[in-house]
Structure 1
Amino acid sequence: MLRVDHVMGFPVSVRIDDGAAEPEAATDEVFAWLRQVDARFSPFKPGSEVSGLDRGEVSADDLSPELSEILDLCEHYRIATRGAFDVRLPGRGFDPCAVVKGWSVQRAAELLSAAGATRFCVNAGGDVVAAGGPWRIGVRHPERADRTCAVLEITEGAVATSARYERGDHILDGRTGRPVTGLLSLTVVAATLTEADATATAAFAMGAEGVEWAASRDGCEVFVVDEGRRVFRTPGFPVAR
């Protein structure tokens, strides 16, 4: 079955090909979870836990286990990038969306597995987590919306891309507060979408130096197009044959 809905500000598609005894119920659970995440962790909703924390109305002792986990992930990537990735930029509110998206969609995939699904694909605004492949996944050309610049193939795992083509210069270097330069798009393949999405965003925030950093991460394969239109990819990046 295939279902597409709009949640957390982008389209999400769930495709289940095999394994789930009740695929519709499993898909309902996925979208219910994603809507719950949006209500609890969106910085754009005044009543969310994230907004309450940002206003000082939620103390560290009162955090939910899920938000504590998200904060730990945010701090991990801030330290790992020496401040280039930072969800608390001066003059801006606390915004953990770069971590929440991959984390929540990975949890959604785990709900499908728990429901018995063995072959499925979840596509959340172009970031993908899949199982039971092979699955062929296109990487959008950073300057041509109607073209791909690579097609990869995975059996199980996740793919995430950070780029400037959808939202412009929306990723800022936390060390300078300025938009990132040097890269057009950066794609990461990893075992989970939590890792792939956060690594792609964190590496993009580092600019050109983020390419080597992402490539050095255990279990991550990387495909990059820089501002000079040069392409870099790690040897293990799973290009489709």
Structure 2
Amino acid sequence: MGLPVSLRVDDPGVPASLGDAVFAWLREADERFSPFKPDSEVSRLGRGEIGRTEVSGDLAEVLGLCEEYRTATGGAFDAWLPGRAFDPCAVVKGWAVQRAAGLLTGAGVARFCLNAGGDVVVAGGPWRVGVRHPERADRLCQVLQVIDGAVATSARYERGDHIVDGRTGRPATGLLSVTVLAPTLTEADTTATAAYAMGEEGVAWAAARPGCEVYAVDAGRRVLRTPGLPVPV
């Protein structure tokens, strides 16, 4: 996935094989769904070598999520941008990591933190999750206290202006960063990216999504947050 992934499990007696299964699934997801790997199913679909009715059940699920968020954002979020290869990474990362978390909860693990490049799924908290400052890599701008759920941030500090507003075809510039807390990382990661693509209007859009809380910094460096954001007392 092009990012570091770490797993902390606090339950005693959890076999190492369960952690191995988590990382094996993430490696499989990277091989199957990366648009940067020529032989992946995503790349083959993007080149037209297979049709949308011929994809695996997993990729069909990803395609459904891509369409759901494209519709919900009026086209601001779009994995099929004109002139670009099909790129569902904004959906796949959160979706794949959430499925990995499901391996843990399905095995009865009650307390863990799965961190994929700063986007996290936690269970059995409270866990303190830091939100990176959008302009200072050595600073946090907020700390969240999460019991069970997921936190994801979209910003330009790692990959520059890589998030495009599908309505204009130009890089989104209305926000410096947007962080979303949601029940799953599928929702948190995709909602954060979609909101960033929408610009400042995306903050209210994300806040209206069921179960979502939002912390954002706009281009004018104003902090925008929802009242239910869980912060340590």
**TM-score bucket (shorter structure):** over 0.9
**2:10 aligned residue:** 17
Distance 1:21 1:209 in 2: 44
Could you state the TM-score of these two structures normalised by the residue count of structure 2?
0.98
Question: Aligned-residue CA RMSD in angstroms?
Answer: 0.9
Compute the displacement of 1:18 (Å). 0.7
**2:51 aligned residue:** 59
Compute the displacement of 1:115 (Å). 2.2
- Tell me the amino acid that sits aligned with residue 88 of structure 2: P
Distance 2:193 2:96 in 1: 16
Q: Give the one of 184, 193, 197 matched to 1:201.
A: 193
Verify the 8 A CA contact 1:187 1:224 in the aligned structure 2.
Answer: yes
- Tell me the amino acid that sits aligned with residue 186 of structure 1: V
**2:102 aligned residue:** 110
Q: Unaligned 5+ residue runs, structure 2?
A: none
Distance 2:146 2:24 in 1: 27
Q: Unaligned 5+ residue runs, structure 1?
A: 1-7
**1:234 aligned residue:** 226
**2:124 aligned residue:** 132
Compute the displacement of 1:116 (Å). 2.2
Distance 2:174 2:156 in 1: 11
Q: SS at 2:53's partner residue?
A: helix
Distance 1:59 1:229 in 2: 44
Compute the displacement of 1:20 (Å). 5.3
Verify the 8 A CA contact 1:20 1:117 in the aligned structure 2.
Answer: no
**2:166 aligned residue:** 174
Distance 1:74 1:20 in 2: 38
Q: SS at 1:62's partner residue?
A: coil
Verify the 8 A CA contact 1:20 1:26 in the aligned structure 2.
Answer: no
Q: Give the one of 27, 31, 44 matched to 1:35.
A: 27
- Tell me the amino acid that sits aligned with residue 219 of structure 1: G
Compute the displacement of 1:148 (Å). 0.3
Q: SS at 2:125's partner residue?
A: coil
Q: SS at 2:216's partner residue?
A: strand
Q: SS at 1:136's partner residue?
A: strand
**1:141 aligned residue:** 133
Q: SS at 1:98's partner residue?
A: helix
Q: SS at 2:232's partner residue?
A: coil
Could you state the TM-score of these two structures normalised by the residue count of structure 1?
0.95
Compute the displacement of 1:156 (Å). 0.3
Superposed CA deviations along residues 188-237 of structure 1, whole A, max 9, x for unmatched, are 00000000000000000001110110111110000011111110110101
Distance 2:68 2:99 in 1: 19
Distance 2:180 2:12 in 1: 28
Alignment of 1:154 onto 2:154: no
Compute the displacement of 1:144 (Å). 0.7
Distance 1:165 1:47 in 2: 29
Verify the 8 A CA contact 1:42 1:97 in the aligned structure 2.
Answer: yes
